[in-house]
Chains A and B, each alone.
Chain A
């Protein structure tokens, strides 16, 4: 039974009929980790934002459905929709510096949403914030609660955001390139933490990334996107053994493998891009008809 069920989701650039997402369907099981990969502009972040109801103003959903725990979000009135998303889903954002308010202390930035969404009183929310910081292995959580974002390192800020995402015990977390801005060594620690938390809380995870290396280590399934269109959806084991789609194969061939001295990097061949573009054009033709 999938916790997140997206069917035929289309998003357009407002005021045009240019589609950013072209009929995307995907499922994420209740405790499953799904990787969403593609090059920049493929629409991978867009899917996560559509699920969380935080699409930019310039984008508009024009078709399809997004079911969260059996309820179609797109049929709900805005207030109810926001309430439901707030209770059941959370985001781990890409850039820990812009995601935190520089003028406020860490504590209230974590506990506010517990008060607003779950209706907890302030003392309980604060205690929970301290507890969850402890869970993400932050030493001296009471000190960090009183700190401002600039007083923390990049890795520490990302830990705070992971804590904040898990604080309200959501059933689904969207992680939008959460380690792209970090060093490889810090990236590893942060990924380890996200998956430790995911396993402990039994959360569904939609993991947006451009890095197939990361996907191979942490996801159970993955969806490959090109131009807002799903190219391939597969189990991770089978995919890295033999990707079915030509575009996926090309993407994998362009991903560096540092332990293999002979493997060379090949850019995605023109012919493969042409083929992917053709698929996009055909999907648009069917849609406009």
Chain B
């Protein structure tokens, strides 16, 4: 069986708190409107879309931080869709997540080594600290960084700590949710190249959520384009960039300002 994930007719709705009456339940708003796709083992899948397209919600449903309303999410043959938290726990080390903002996802009071070791000890590993320092090395940071605190690191270094925490458990799957959107271009290039190497070395399957198609092109094998809770295009990366099918994909592509003043982008009003 070569598909790590299978997603069938996935729907997810959440309470719309902006329209909640004073008493009683909030009306539900449908975020994911029926999505089906599979992620083969070893693939780097890009998930792209504008804000509100449901890309983060989809990611969170994959790692079961959110419970789908209907449909099915199968991970390596196990149906995760409505699995209870105790039943999920023994599986959790196999799918990990890297968050967008390392400042809010890394505990400021914990040293880097403790941050990375925390999930390791939670999952009962024998030597969490040693494994944590190994993970640091894998993301290209010196072991001595284990003693530092998040505020002592640059944005790019912090994001690498987030990656180290995710890979320390040696998962099969990693979900990276907008992990380079807060970074400078130079750190962004660095984080992307580290991620690409790790995917190869550790045989990872990766879902990479981004609003930026130019970043996706550097990393992904295949791309899902989401728009208003639906998949509007599902294509191999090269195909998508060479011949985008959906109108929304073309709109996204045309909106990216490429660093070249000679390529027309919009006509300056004169």
Q: Do chains A and B stick together as partners?
A: yes
Q: How many angstroms from the CA of A96 to the CA of B120 in the assembled complex?
A: 41
Contacts of A196 in B (CB 8 A): 269
- Given known A-B contacts A254-B188, A256-B218, A268-B186, A217 and B213 have beta carbons under 8 A apart: no
Are A213 and B259 interface neighbours, CB within 8 A? yes
Q: Which of the segments A2-10, A45-53, A59-67, A259-267 contacts the partner chain? A: A259-267
B269 / chain A contacts, CB cutoff of 8 Å:
195-196, 199-200
Q: Is B256's CB under 8 angstroms from A258's CB? A: yes
Residues of B within 8 A of A22 (CB): none
Q: What residue in chain B is nearest A250 (Cβ atoms)?
A: B186
Best-buried of B193, B252, B259 by chain A (most CB within 10 Å): B259
Categorize the interface residue count of chain A.
Answer: 35 or more
B197 contacts partner chain A, Cβ-Cβ < 8 Å? no
Q: 1/0 per residue B178-209: CB within 8 Å of A?
A: 00000011111110110000000000000000
Is B105 in the interface zone, CB < 8 Å from A? no
A3, chain B: closest CB distance, angstroms: 19
B79 within 8 A of A: no
CB <8 Å contact, B258 and A265 = no
A188 interface contact, C-beta 8 A: yes
State the CA gap A18–B117 with chains docked (Å).
37
A217 touches B184 (CB 8 A): no
Interface residues on chain B, size class: 35 or more
Indicate if the CB atoms of B256 and A184 lie closer than 8 Å. Answer: yes
In the complex, A215 Cα to B261 Cα: how many Å? 8
**Interchain CA distance A258-B218 in the complex, whole Å:** 8
Determine if A236 and B184 form an interchain contact, defined as CB atoms under 8 angstroms apart. Answer: no
A201 CB → nearest B CB, Å = 11
Cα–Cα, bound, A240→B263 (Å)? 11
CA distance A195 to B185 in the complex (A): 25
Contacts of A237 in B (CB 8 A): 261
Given A39-B184, A217-B265, A257-B260, A267 and B189 contact (CB-CB distance below 8 Å)? yes
The verdict on B16 contacting chain A, using a C-beta distance below 8 Å, is no
A251 touches B258 (CB 8 A): no
Closest A residue to B238 using CB positions: A261
A264–B253 Cα gap in the complex (Å)? 18
In the complex, which residues 199-240 of chain A have their Cβ closer than 8 Å to any Cβ of chain B? 199-200, 210-218, 236-237, 240
Within 8 A of A (CB), among B217-270: 217-218, 238, 241, 251-263, 265-266, 268-270
A255/B259 in contact, CB under 8 A: yes
- Residues from chain A with a CB closer than 8 A to the CB of B214 are 256-258
Known: A185-B252, A257-B214, A258-B214. A265 touches B259 (CB 8 A): no
Given A185-B252, A217-B266, answer yes or no on A240-B261 (Cβ-Cβ < 8 Å): yes
Which of B189, B211, B241 is within 8 Å of A258, CB to CB? B241
Judge whether A251 and B185 touch: CB under 8 Å: yes
Asked if residues B217 and A216 are in contact (CB atoms below 8 Å), the reply is: no
Bound complex: CA of A65 vs CA of B190, how far in Å? Answer: 38
- Which B residues touch A199, using CB under 8 A? 268-270
Contact A184 B212 (CB under 8 A): yes
> Which residues of the partner chain A approach B257 to less than 8 Å between Cβ atoms?
188, 191, 211, 213-214, 216-217
**CB within 8 Å for A240 and B186 given contacts A188-B255, A264-B218:** no
B260 pairs with A210, CB closer than 8 A: no
Closest A residue to B261 by CB, please name it.
A216
Q: Which residues B31-79 have CB closer than 8 A to chain A?
A: 50-51
The docked-state distance in angstroms from the alpha carbon of A184 to that of B249 is: 12
Residue of A nearest to B237 (CB): A261
With A185-B255, A216-B257, A240-B260 in contact, do A254 and B266 touch (Cβ < 8 Å)? no
Q: Is the CB of A183 within 8 A of B50?
A: yes
Complex CA gap A261/B217 in Å reads 8
A216/B189 in contact, CB under 8 A? no
Shortest CB distance B139–A (Å) = 14
Interface assignment of B141: CB less than 8 Å from any CB of chain A: no
Q: Which of B188, B253, B268, B270 contacts A265 (CB 8 A)?
A: B188
Residues of A within 8 A of B218 (CB): 256, 264-265
Residues on A with beta carbons closer than 8 Å to the beta carbon of B155: 40
Q: Which residues of A contact B263 (CB under 8 A)?
A: 259
Is the C-beta of B4 less than 8 angstroms from some C-beta in chain A? no
Contacts of B251 in A (CB 8 A): 185
On whether the beta carbons of A40 and B217 are closer than 8 Å, the reply is no
Q: Could you tell me the distance between the alpha carbons of A264 and B196 in the complex, rounded to whole angstroms?
A: 12
What 9 additional pairs, Cβ within 8 angstroms, besides A185-B255, A186-B50, A217-B266? A184-B212, A184-B213, A188-B266, A195-B268, A217-B261, A254-B186, A261-B241, A265-B189, A267-B189
10 nearest A-B pairs in the assembled complex, by CB-CB distance: A256-B214, A258-B214, A265-B189, A213-B257, A39-B184, A267-B190, A268-B186, A184-B255, A254-B185, A196-B269
Q: Tell me the B residues contacting A by CB distance below 8 Å.
A: 50-51, 155, 184-190, 192-193, 211-215, 217-218, 238, 241, 251-263, 265-266, 268-270
A-B contact pairs, 15 of them (CB 8 A): A39-B184, A184-B211, A186-B50, A188-B255, A191-B257, A195-B268, A199-B270, A213-B256, A213-B259, A214-B257, A255-B185, A256-B185, A259-B241, A261-B238, A265-B189
